Amino acid sequence: MHRHFNGLKTAALFGVLWAVLLGIGALIASGTGSAAPLWIFALIGVASTAYGYWNSDKIAIRSMQAYPVTEQQAPAIYRIVRELSTKANQSMPAIFISPTQSPNAFATGRNPQNAAVCCTEGILAILDERELRGVLGHELMHVYNRDILTSSVAAAVAGVITSVAQMMLFFGGGDRRNANPVALLAMSLFAPLAASMIQLAISRTREYDADEDGSTLTDDPLALASALRKLETGVQRAPLPQDQNLVNTSHLMIANPFKGGGAAKLFATHPPMADRIARLEKMAGRPLT
């Protein structure tokens, strides 16, 4: 199912992320004789991530001010999600709609038994049912691939690296007679940037994965490609405000919900739409017409 070896890429990126963390630990230990500060920050990171992971559905739904809908209120969404979840032999998730005109969708939840799928009013206004099916297939695969867990772990490790690096920068890493000051400064400045970039790379890789696996689930990669083209235009016309709560959950959405270009693209949580569409067209064996 993973044509572009995205699972292997994710594992490799996690390896680099952990290598950065271990490098910081070694540097701290050489300067202080103890890696205790690293473990303290790691425990804090694990605790905060566990809370976020366990409540990921509630946090995301709340940030988008979404409301639950019945099958009578959203028959098309229920019909599509029921069909695809049955085909995947998975539980039916809860269905929500967000009252925003910015076109987007996301799925969240710690596992298929505690999942939620949310569409904005904006996406329902611009997609036809075939395109909506492509989008929902993508979102369901995020849940089935346990991407919430993957992104939570990546965020936790990146957060620990950033916190420890900041501590090293402000407090000097302990006994400077034993620590290499150049290495200390370099690691303090480089580690947070490296951790953020690796975290973003993991997020982008999982988007490619959900595109491919969702299109396999729907047997219709061109439907998702068509939807992505509409979403790219729609988000530029009606982006979400860069509220911090929305920024924190933006990686869950099928399209980057914020308007931006230039350097902002370097720190985007989503791969370029053109690349995603090209991959989907390659899956279908022909370009979108």
The catalytic residue positions are 139
164 burial via Cβ count (<10 Å: 0-12, 13-18, 19+): buried
Task: For strands 105-109 and 67-68, give the pairing.
Answer: unpaired
DSSP 239: P
Report CA 148 to chain centroid distance, whole Å. 7
Name the H helices within the chain: 6-32, 36-54, 56-63, 75-87, 121-126, 129-144, 147-171, 181-218, 221-237, 244-249, 273-284
Angle between helices 273-284 and 181-218 (to 10 degrees): 40
Q: Which residues on adjacent β-strands are paired with residue 14?
A: none
Of 258, 255, 223, nearest in space to 239 by CA: 258
User: How many residues appear in the chain?
Assistant: 289
Backbone φ/ψ region at 70: left (φ over 0), alpha (ψ -120 to 50), beta: beta
How does 92-116 read in b/e, with b if 16+ C-beta sit within 10 Å?
Answer: ebbbbbbebebbbbbbbbbebebbb
Contact predicate 20/186, CB 8 Å: no
